Structure 1
Amino acid sequence: MKKLQNVVIKGTKEGLTLHLNDSCSFEELKKELYWKLSENYRSQEGQQQITVKVQVGNRYLTDTQIEELKELITQTKNLVVDSVSSNVMTKEEVEQMKQEQKIVSVSSIVRSGQVVKVPGDLLLIGDVNPGGTVMAGGNIFVMGVLKGIAHAGCYGNTEAIIAASIMKPSQLRIGEFINRAPDHYTDQENREMECAYINENNQIMIDRLQVLIQLRPNLTRLERGW
């Protein structure tokens, strides 16, 4: 019978994918990984770096074990770990995901000095005054005038958007990207609702809300009505 490989290395256009067996011990896994990388990917002077994605299947890894794998892989110098993915999640991670997928509705005026922050999407029915701040792990929808600061995707989600009935922010943030307010605004009294999003050049753009149909087709979680 052919011995099951604990480490399978596959090349892709983006780099390498390491498929690690989830039924062997972690120590066995590390030994075979070290041996295969040493045999096939010895570092050479001037060699271009290769991006590595690690898939561990149904194995749960602690933060310490993840760091051990990363250190083992990057010992070859020319390998850079892009991600380590597992099919297994802790109860805490599941609960956090559930919180981040919730839509929190708030009916209020956010005044100067106030901060409203939610883990998921925020639906604010009211205005954000200058000096006020709204933050969300997901998207932000302001059914009113946005004159303060809005930070969507505050945990790193760059696919998040910010929408407002009247868009006059002092600052917009999506993920780590920041867009300062323009020096002046055009009269928006008869204009449509607007949205802010990150384009392919990692710039925050403001456009009509209708563009999201093409840009973020999975924005809504409701597929059909009655």
Structure 2
Amino acid sequence: MQDTKQLVTIKGTRDGLTLVIDDSCSFEDALKELENKLSTNRPNKDEPVVPVTIKVGNRYIEDKHKERIRHVIMDQKRFAIQSFESDVILKESAYDLLKDSEVKIVHRIVRSGQVLEETGDLLLIGDVNPGGKVVSTGNIYIMGNLQGVAHAGSDGDAEAVIAASYMNPSQLRIADYISRAPDYDSDGVYMECGYIDEEQDKIVIDRLQVLSQKRKSLNRFERRIING
């Protein structure tokens, strides 16, 4: 009996169409079936453009393949691709994700005029002296005195936080938000953290323990740092 397995499945959703392409067949066979199915499901000219999401499962889809799929779909005029979704990424991309999710542990004192920059979350065991600066794309945890500048979420992550054993910074930055020294007690505070409060639309200082409620995405390692 001839195999009649569908290589392309079309599912209607409230947001448009989802096209699921079988990840075990050849790309050419899937593309041919996609073209045939779209030609029989062409919207009427007076209907609005239908957004389409392409899901390819465990298949890595290259840019040249995206272009060919886009050409087939756009040729039907009334379809518009919203996104491509794949469960597979390149090794380089996976490595970048791993770097962003790691907690970098650094033992040092950041002195005046020095800048410490890291990708991902930073755990600094040491002090940031006045005139020193620490920058990270993720969260910043300082087991020591923060008296210089700390910039968390430097790539734009507004969910990033800054925590220190003793906090008396000359400046805090999270993503594009800046909070300067006059916002804090001149004597500094112990075991505190800074994060962006959406309602106040600014960086606020609070007890370190609130982070487990304010930022539920913190992993278990970070929660151990916060909760002791």
Q: What TM-score, normalized by structure 2, do the two folds share?
A: 0.70
Distance across 2 between alignment mates of 1:44 and 1:215: 49
**Structure 1 56/146 Cα, relative in aligned 2: closer, same or farther at 3 Å?**
farther
Distance across 1 between alignment mates of 2:12 and 2:129: 50
Aligned to 2:142: 142
- Choose between structure 1 and 2: higher helix proportion: 2
**Structure 1 41/198 Cα, relative in aligned 2: closer, same or farther at 3 Å?**
farther
Sequence identity (%): 34
Shift of 1:161: 3.0
2:202 matches 1:193: no
| 1:179-201 per-position Cα deviation (integer Å, ceiling 9, x unaligned) | 133572231634651131474x8
Shift of 1:169: 5.7
| 1:3-23 per-position Cα deviation (integer Å, ceiling 9, x unaligned) | 222222323445443321112
Distance across 2 between alignment mates of 1:18 and 1:218: 31
| 1:86-143 per-position Cα deviation (integer Å, ceiling 9, x unaligned) | 233333333333333321111334356544232331112321644734123x322233
Give the AA of the match of 1:185. D
Question: 5+ residue gaps in structure 1?
Answer: none
Question: 5+ residue gaps in structure 2?
Answer: none
Counterpart of 2:204 (choices 203, 206, 220) is 206
2:107 matches 1:102: no
Q: 1:57, 1:87 within 8 Å by CA — same for their partners in 2?
A: yes
Aligned to 2:152: 151
**Structure 1 150/5 Cα, relative in aligned 2: closer, same or farther at 3 Å?**
same
Moved more, 38-47 or 22-31: 38-47
**Structure 1 128/5 Cα, relative in aligned 2: closer, same or farther at 3 Å?**
farther
Give the AA of the match of 2:9. V
Distance across 1 between alignment mates of 2:101 and 2:8: 34
Aligned to 1:132: 133
Helix, strand or coil for the counterpart of 1:219?
coil
**Structure 1 109/28 Cα, relative in aligned 2: closer, same or farther at 3 Å?**
same
**Structure 1 193/13 Cα, relative in aligned 2: closer, same or farther at 3 Å?**
farther
Pairs aligned (count)? 216
Q: What TM-score, normalized by structure 1, do the two folds share?
A: 0.71
Q: Which has the larger radius of gyration?
A: 2
Helix, strand or coil for the counterpart of 1:93?
helix
CA RMSD of aligned residues (A): 3.8
Aligned to 2:219: 220
Aligned to 1:47: 48
